[in-house]
């Protein structure tokens, strides 16, 4: 059961194609779990279709139709890519970035109870996976920029509530929290940050850049 | 350009209690039916006349959309042609029960733009591969092609200042704060106009607030 959803503006940014790749990965990963947001997303796509239809047409160059007609025979009908059947609990949009499923992730130890696996970095925006054993805590930290998290396995709790698989958390610039992994199985999260994290503890402050935060 | 989407405070969504699924079945507009029929002929008979009719209707609108997004004219021209070629290639995958031709082309053009102009991928849902225990909403999959014609009518009924912020948020790839600066109105006004517009549009789809 999903309790934490993206707001209308985040979903709109995804539907409009304005959200960047990392944020789109957050939204599409959440949607893989959440039927409610899939439906919300489809409606926003319909709004895109309606707006497109209402735009004043911009005429194409002369010969555009002939040009395309001449190319029709050369294009092969599209075939859906053959999927690697994986039902181990890895959302489809994420699999392409991991290059497999969650069991194939190569973790880097960040301490006795936390591990990290970077996915990609674009400018200031970083996407990666974080794993904590039950009871592990992140240390109190705040953010330069925002942090978006989707739980993939297990769960965590902080001052803002409890988060389980599929739940999406959004921490704004300047908000501070300490994330503690719930009892049970390891907690694995997809995390996107738009700026470096600010840790309160000196040791973490020194260590954070080494791990790509 | 990208970071803007991250900067504004994103709101939180809390789904209301689900209402009983009374889905209004309005007849589809003739235009929507006509476009569906044309695409059906492209899919089943590789009918070039039908394709040409779809091209004439949609290519200039796709080009207009790309120009709105800030694509240079030559790029908008090329991508509009690519979008329609894509429609030819993928016609057999089109399902009129899931979306209208206009909505489908919007998603194709949106993704082409991200690919070609931003040189990024857009992580996509795989419609056949959701997480096993994500219970479908009662009305999932019932977004009708007809939604689009109802939305188009609702858009026509919106006050001009609301249409403006919806269009800018959707098409101009701009943060709400940029929109506020451009229109010379406070950020709060942009947000409240957008909220008003979205709630009206949702009502048009028969959604409760």
Specify if B17 maps to a domain. Answer: no
Q: Do B125 and A78 touch (CB under 8 A)?
A: no
Query: String of b and e for A76-101 (b: at least 16 CB within 10 Å)?
Result: eeeeeeeeeeeeeebbbbbbebbeeb
Same domain, B100 and B34: yes
Three-state SS annotation for A80-91: CCCCCCCCCCCC
- The answer to the question of residue B140 being in a domain is no
Parallel, antiparallel, or unpaired for β A176-177 and A125-132? unpaired
* 3-class DSSP state of A147: strand
Residue of B131, B139, B202 to mutate for A, most A C-beta atoms under 10 A: B131
Low-confidence ranges of chain A (pLDDT < 70): 82-88, 196-213
pLDDT at residue B63, rounded to an integer: 97
- How far apart, in whole angstroms, are the C-alpha atoms of residue B113 and residue B71? 8
Alpha-carbon gap: B26 to the closest alpha carbon of chain A (Å)? 16
Identify any residues that bridge with A142 across adjacent strands, giving them in sequence order.
Answer: A176, A198
Q: For position B22, what pLDDT does the model report? A: 47
- Domains of chain A with CATH codes: 1-213 (2.60.120.10)
* Contact between B170 and A16 using a beta-carbon 8 Å cutoff: yes
pLDDT at residue B98, as a whole number: 80
Which residue among A50, A54, A77 sits closest to B92, beta carbon to beta carbon?
A: A77
**Domain-embedded: residue B24:** no
Please indicate whether, in this complex, the C-beta atoms of B134 and A89 are within 8 angstroms of each other. Answer: no
Q: Which residues contact A144 (CB under 8 A, 6 or more apart)?
A: A173, A195, A196, A197, A198
- Residue B118 sits in a domain of what CATH number? 1.10.1740.10
- Number of domains making up chain B: 2
Query: Which segments of chain A does DSSP mark as H helices, in order?
Result: 8-16, 21-33, 35-54, 64-71, 92-98, 202-207
CATH code of the domain in which B198 resides: 1.10.10.10
3-state secondary structure (DSSP) of residue A125: strand
Among B75, B107, B123, residue at a domain's last position = B123
Per-residue confidence (pLDDT) for residue B32, from 0 to 100: 81
Same domain, B115 and B191: no
Is residue B191 assigned to a domain? Answer: yes
Give the residues of chain B that fall short of pLDDT 50: 1-8, 20-24, 208-209
- Closest approach of chain B CAs to the CA of A106, in angstroms? 21
Instruction: Give B164-184 pLDDT, tens digit per residue.
Output: 889 888 887 777 888 888 889
Cα–Cα distance measured from residue A24 to residue A13, given in angstroms and rounded to the nearest whole number? 9
Same domain for B33 and B119: yes
A107: left (phi over 0), alpha (psi -120 to 50) or beta: beta
Number of Cα atoms under 13 Å in the Cβ half of residue B87: 36
Domain-ending residue, one of B106, B123, B140: B123
Instruction: Please report the ipTM that was assigned to this predicted complex.
Output: 0.86
Same domain, B92 and B43: yes
Inspect the interface and report whether the beta carbons of B125 and A172 lie closer than 8 Å.
Answer: no
Does a structural domain hold residue B199?
Answer: yes
Please indicate, yes or no, whether the overall pTM of this predicted structure exceeds 0.95: no
Could you give the CA distance from residue B31 to residue B59 in angstroms, rounded to a whole number? 16
pLDDT of residue A51: 92
Please tell me whether residues B91 and B164 are part of one structural domain: no
Domain that holds residue B203: 158-209
Does residue B110 belong to any structural domain of this protein? yes
On whether both B109 and B49 belong to a single domain, the answer is yes
Q: Which two tokens stand for residue B102?
A: 């206009």
Asked, for residue B87, whether it belongs to a domain, the answer is: yes
Which tokens in the block code for residue B23?
């889905």
Residue A193 corresponds to which tokens in the numbers above?
Answer: 């940050």
Whether A7 sits inside 8 A of B143 (CB atoms) is no
Is residue B208 domain-resident? yes
B155, B127, B62, B60: which is closest to A41 by C-alpha?
B127
């Amino acid at each position: 059961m999903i309790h934490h959803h993206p707001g209308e503006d985040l979903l709109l940014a995804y539907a409009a194609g304005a959200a960047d790749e990392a944020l789109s990965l957050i939204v599409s990963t959440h949607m893989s779990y959440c039927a409610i947001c899939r439906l919300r997303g489809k409606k926003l796509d319909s709004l895109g279709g309606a707006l497109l239809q209402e735009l004043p047409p911009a005429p194409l160059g002369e010969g555009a139709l002939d040009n395309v007609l001449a190319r029709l025979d050369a294009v092969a009908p599209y075939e859906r890519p053959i999927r690697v059947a994986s039902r181990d609990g890895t959302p489809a949009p994420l699999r392409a970035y991991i290059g497999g499923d969650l069991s194939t992730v190569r973790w880097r130890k960040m301490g006795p109870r936390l591990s990290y696996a970077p996915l990609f970095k674009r400018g200031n925006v970083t996407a990666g996976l974080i794993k904590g054993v039950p009871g592990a805590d992140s240390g109190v930290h705040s953010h330069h920029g925002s942090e978006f998290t989707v739980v993939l396995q297990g769960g965590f709790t902080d001052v803002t509530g409890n988060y389980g698989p599929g739940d999406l958390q959004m921490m704004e610039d300047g908000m501070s929290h300490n994330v503690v992994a719930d009892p049970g199985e390891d907690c694995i999260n997809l995390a996107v940050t738009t700026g470096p994290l600010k840790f309160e503890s000196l040791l973490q402050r020194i260590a954070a850049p080494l791990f790509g935060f | 350009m990208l970071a803007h989407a991250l900067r504004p405070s994103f709101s939180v969504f809390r789904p209301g209690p689900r209402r009983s699924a009374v889905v209004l079945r309005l007849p589809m507009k003739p235009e929507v039916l006509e476009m569906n029929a044309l695409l059906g002929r492209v899919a089943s008979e590789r009918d070039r006349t039908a394709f040409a009719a779809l091209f004439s209707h949609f290519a200039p609108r796709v080009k207009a959309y790309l120009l709105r997004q800030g694509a240079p004219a030559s790029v908008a021209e090329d991508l509009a042609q690519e979008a329609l070629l894509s429609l030819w290639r993928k016609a057999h995958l089109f399902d009129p029960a899931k979306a209208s031709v206009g909505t489908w082309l919007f998603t194709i053009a949106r993704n082409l733009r991200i690919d070609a102009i931003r040189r990024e991928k857009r992580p996509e849902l795989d419609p056949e591969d959701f997480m096993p225990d994500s219970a479908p909403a009662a009305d999932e999959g019932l977004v009708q092609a007809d939604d689009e014609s109802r939305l188009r009518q609702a858009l026509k009924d919106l006050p001009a200042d609301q249409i403006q912020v919806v269009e800018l948020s959707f098409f101009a790839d701009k943060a709400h704060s940029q929109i506020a600066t451009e229109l010379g109105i406070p950020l709060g006004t942009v947000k409240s106009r957008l909220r008003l517009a979205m709630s009206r549009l949702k009502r048009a789809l028969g959604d409760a607030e």
